[in-house]
C-alpha cells in the first residue's frame, strides 16, 4: 500500500466516458464561461478591492490585479490542458492523483476544501453585509441586529455590541445548497441570469464613475513603504513592492472561480473543446473589468474612506458619497451585488461538492459523498455535508480571516496544477491533448513562481493557518483515507 501510487490515466478516462451511471452532461462552452464569470465577479471585486487598497497598496491595487491576473493566466493555461485531457470531476485533485500519487492528491483535495468551502463562506459573509446595506439604504428599514449578522469574534466599535451568529450568511448558503441538489442545469440557468445583471452593473460603474475620478487620489500611485495595522491588530506591508504583492494575494481572491469551472468537466457536453474556452474566456473578460473597476474605485474615493466609512460596503459607500446625482446607482449596485454574491456561492459550492464526489468515489472520503440523487443526478449527500461545514464557517468566523485563508489555499492548488502539467508531459507524452499549454515547462514554472510570490505576500499568519489545516488533513488521511482507498486496496 503505497501512498505515492498513481491512478492510471486509462482508468480516469474510462470513468470520464462512463458518465451514464453518474452525473448528467448538460453544460456548453457558454455555460462554462457564465459559470466562470459567475464565480469570479463577486466578493473579490466588490469587497476585496477596497480591502487591498486600504491595507496594502492604495491606488496601486490596479497593478496588484495585473500581477494576480498573470499568475491566474499561467495557471489557467495549465488547467485548460489538464481539464480538456482528463475531463472528469475533481479538478486539481484528479490531476494530482494521475501525476503525483495518492498522498499529494489527498493533500490537494483537502486544500480544495479550504479553497471552495471557506471561499463560499467568505462570500456568504459579504452577502450578509450587503443585505444590511440594502435594508438601510435602499428599503429604508431597520438592519438585522449586529448580534445576529456578525461572528462572535466581532464587536460593533460604536455600540460595543458583540456578534453571536451570522444568520443571513447561513441562510444564503442553505438556499444555494438546495438549488444545487435540484440540478446542475437549473443552477447554470439561474447563474446565467445573475451574470448578465452584475456584468451590466460593473460596466455602468466604470463608465459613469470615470467622470468622477479625482486626480488627487491617484497623485501618489504607489505609496511609500510603511506598515498598516488593521482592526484585528494584524500588521500589513503597505506601499512599495511588498504592498503590491500583499494586495495581489488579497485580490487574488477575486479571481478564484475560473478553476471551479474545471470541476464541472464531467457534466460538460464536449469538455475537450469547451473547457479551455470556459476557463480562459471567463478569466480574460474578468481581468479587463477588474483593472478598469479598480482604477475607477480608487480614483473616486480615498484610501481613508476604505479604512473607515466604507469597509465591506465600500463600493456603495463611494457612489453615495462622491457620485452626486447617481445615488440610484448605489442602490442598484447593492441589489446587483447581492445577486452576484449568490452566483459566486453557487459555483464555489458546486466545485466543492464535485471534489467531494471524486474523493468519495476513490474511497478517500466516505462513499456517501459520491452517492448521486436517483432523480436529480447530483451528489446530494455531499451538498448537505458541505452546507453544514460552510454554514458553520459563514456563521461564526470573520470574513477577512477566511478570505485570506481561501487565497493561500487556492494559490497552493495552482502551484500543484502547474507542476502536474510538466510531470504529465514527461510521463504521458503521447496522450491526446485537445489543448496544449504553450512553452512548457516555461509557462508552468513561471506560474509556480508568481503564485509563490503572492503566497509570500499574504504573510506568516496565513502560512500558519495553511500548515495547521494541512496537518489536520494528513492526520485524517492516515486514519481514514489510506485504509479505505480503492486504488490501494484493490490492486488496481
Instruction: Express each pLDDT in 114-168 by its tens digit.
Output: 778 888 888 888 889 889 888 987 888 998 999 999 888 888 877 888 889 999 9
Burial of 475 (0-12, 13-18, 19+ CB in 10 A): exposed
pLDDT value at residue 492: 44
pLDDT value at residue 311: 60
Long-range CB pairs of 230-239, under 8 A, 24+ apart, other chains included? 230/55, 230/400, 231/157, 232/398, 232/400, 232/401, 234/459, 234/461, 236/55, 236/56, 236/459, 237/56, 237/457, 237/459, 238/55, 238/56, 238/57, 238/58, 239/57, 239/58, 239/60
Are 112 and 92 in contact by the 8 Å Cβ rule? The answer is yes
pTM of the model: 0.77
Of 358, 344, 336, which Cα lies nearest the Cα of 90? 358
- Cell (9 digits) for 129: 453585509
- State the alpha helices, DSSP H only, in 18-101: 29-40, 43, 49-52, 61-85, 92-99
Q: What is the pLDDT along the chain (492 residues), one digit of tens a residue?
A: 578 888 887 787 776 665 545 566 777 888 888 888 877 786 567 777 888 888 888 899 999 999 988 888 898 889 888 887 777 766 778 888 888 889 988 988 888 887 788 888 888 888 898 898 889 878 889 989 999 998 888 888 778 888 899 999 999 999 999 888 887 677 778 878 888 888 888 899 999 999 999 999 999 999 998 888 876 677 778 888 988 988 888 887 777 777 777 777 777 788 778 888 888 888 888 889 999 999 999 999 998 888 876 565 678 888 888 998 888 888 887 887 788 788 888 878 888 888 888 899 899 999 888 888 888 888 889 889 999 989 998 898 876 666 667 778 888 888 988 998 999 899 888 887 878 999 999 999 999 999 898 888 777 888 888 889 899 999 999 999 999 998 877 654
Q: Specify the 3-state DSSP secondary structure of 33.
A: helix
Q: Which residues pair with 229 in a beta bridge?
A: 235
Q: Specify the 3-state DSSP secondary structure of 109.
A: helix
Cα dihedral value 154, 345, 81, 430, nearest 10: 100
Distance separating alpha carbons of residues 113 and 402, to the nearest angstrom: 12
pLDDT value at residue 435: 83
pLDDT value at residue 164: 92
Dmax over Cα atoms in the chain, in whole Å? 70
pLDDT value at residue 402: 65
- State the alpha helices, DSSP H only, in 323-459: 327-361, 380-396, 399-427, 442-457
Question: In 186-338, which ranges are E strands?
Answer: 226-229, 235-238
Distance separating alpha carbons of residues 207 and 187, to the nearest angstrom: 30
Are 444 and 78 in contact by the 8 Å Cβ rule? The answer is yes
pLDDT value at residue 30: 83
Dihedrals phi, psi of 159, to nearest 5 degrees:
-105, -15
DSSP-derived secondary structure letter, 141: S
Distance separating alpha carbons of residues 471 and 474, to the nearest angstrom: 5
Which region, left, alpha or beta, applies to residue 459 given φ > 0 means left and ψ of -120 to 50 means alpha?
left
Place of cell 485570506: 404
Q: Measure the CA angle with vertex 174, ends 171 and 180; round to 5°.
A: 145
pLDDT value at residue 111: 85
- Cell (9 digits) for 130: 450587503
Class of domain 9-490: mainly alpha
Of 163, 156, 200, which Cα lies nearest the Cα of 289? 200
Q: Which residues pair with 27 in a beta bridge?
A: 268
Distance separating alpha carbons of residues 66 and 263, to the nearest angstrom: 25
pLDDT value at residue 43: 58
Distance separating alpha carbons of residues 330 and 204, to the nearest angstrom: 11
Are 134 and 334 in contact by the 8 Å Cβ rule? The answer is yes
pLDDT value at residue 204: 92
pLDDT value at residue 207: 95
Amino acid at each position: 500500500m503505497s501512498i505515492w501510487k498513481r491512478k492510471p490515466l486509462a482508468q480516469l478516462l474510462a470513468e470520464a466516458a462512463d458518465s451514464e451511471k453518474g452525473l448528467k452532461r448538460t453544460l456548453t462552452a457558454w455555460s462554462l464561461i457564465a459559470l466562470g464569470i459567475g464565480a469570479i465577479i463577486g466578493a473579490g471585486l466588490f469587497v476585496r478591492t477596497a480591502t487591498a487598497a486600504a491595507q496594502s497598496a492604495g491606488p496601486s491595487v490596479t497593478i496588484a490585479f495585473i500581477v494576480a491576473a498573470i499568475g491566474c493566466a499561467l495557471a489557467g493555461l495549465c488547467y485548460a490542458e489538464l481539464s480538456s485531457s482528463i475531463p472528469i470531476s475533481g479538478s486539481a485533485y484528479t490531476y494530482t492523483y494521475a501525476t503525483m500519487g495518492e498522498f499529494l492528491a489527498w493533500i490537494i483535495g483537502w486544500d480544495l476544501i479550504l479553497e471552495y468551502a471557506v471561499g463560499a463562506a467568505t462570500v456568504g459573509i459579504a452577502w450578509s453585509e450587503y443585505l444590511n446595506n440594502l435594508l438601510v439604504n435602499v428599503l429604508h428599514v431597520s438592519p438585522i441586529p449586529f448580534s445576529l449578522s456578525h461572528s462572535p469574534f466581532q464587536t460593533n466599535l460604536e455600540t460595543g455590541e458583540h456578534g453571536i451568529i451570522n444568520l443571513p450568511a447561513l441562510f444564503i448558503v442553505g438556499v444555494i445548497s438546495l438549488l444545487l441538489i435540484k440540478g446542475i442545469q437549473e443552477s447554470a440557468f439561474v447563474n446565467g441570469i445573475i451574470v448578465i445583471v452584475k456584468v451590466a452593473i460593473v460596466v455602468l460603474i466604470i463608465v459613469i464613475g470615470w467622470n468622477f475620478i479625482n486626480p488627487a487620489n491617484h497623485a501618489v500611485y504607489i505609496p511609500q513603504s510603511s506598515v498598516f495595522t488593521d482592526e484585528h491588530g494584524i500588521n500589513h506591508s503597505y506601499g512599495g513592492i511588498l504592498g503590491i504583492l500583499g494586495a495581489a494575494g488579497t485580490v487574488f481572491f477575486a479571481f478564484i472561480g475560473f478553476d471551479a469551472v474545471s470541476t464541472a468537466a464531467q457534466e460538460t457536453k464536449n469538455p475537450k473543446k469547451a473547457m479551455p474556452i470556459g476557463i480562459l474566456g471567463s478569466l480574460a473578460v474578468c481581468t479587463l473589468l477588474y483593472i478598469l473597476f479598480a482604477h475607477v474605485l480608487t480614483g473616486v474615493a480615498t484610501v481613508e474612506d476604505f479604512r473607515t466609512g466604507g469597509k465591506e460596503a465600500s463600493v456603495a459607500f463611494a457612489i453615495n458619497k462622491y457620485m452626486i446625482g447617481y445615488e440610484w446607482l448605489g442602490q442598484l449596485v447593492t441589489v446587483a451585488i447581492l445577486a452576484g454574491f449568490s452566483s459566486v456561492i453557487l459555483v464555489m459550492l458546486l466545485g466543492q461538492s464535485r471534489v467531494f464526489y471524486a474523493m468519495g468515489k476513490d474511497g478517500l472520503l466516505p462513499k456517501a459523498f459520491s452517492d448521486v440523487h436517483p432523480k436529480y443526478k447530483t451528489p446530494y449527500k455531499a451538498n448537505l455535508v458541505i452546507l453544514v461545514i460552510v454554514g458553520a464557517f459563514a456563521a461564526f468566523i470573520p470574513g477577512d480571516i477566511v478570505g485570506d485563508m481561501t487565497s493561500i489555499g487556492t494559490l497552493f492548488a495552482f502551484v500543484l496544477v502547474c507542476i502536474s502539467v510538466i510531470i504529465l508531459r514527461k510521463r504521458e507524452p503521447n496522450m491526446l491533448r485537445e489543448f496544449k499549454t504553450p512553452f512548457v515547462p516555461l509557462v508552468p514554472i513561471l506560474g509556480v513562481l508568481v503564485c509563490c510570490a503572492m503566497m509570500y505576500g499574504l504573510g506568516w499568519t496565513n502560512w500558519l493557518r495553511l500548515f495547521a489545516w494541512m496537518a489536520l488533513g494528513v492526520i485524517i488521511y492516515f486514519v481514514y483515507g489510506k485504509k479505505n482507498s480503492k486504488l490501494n486496496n484493490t490492486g488496481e
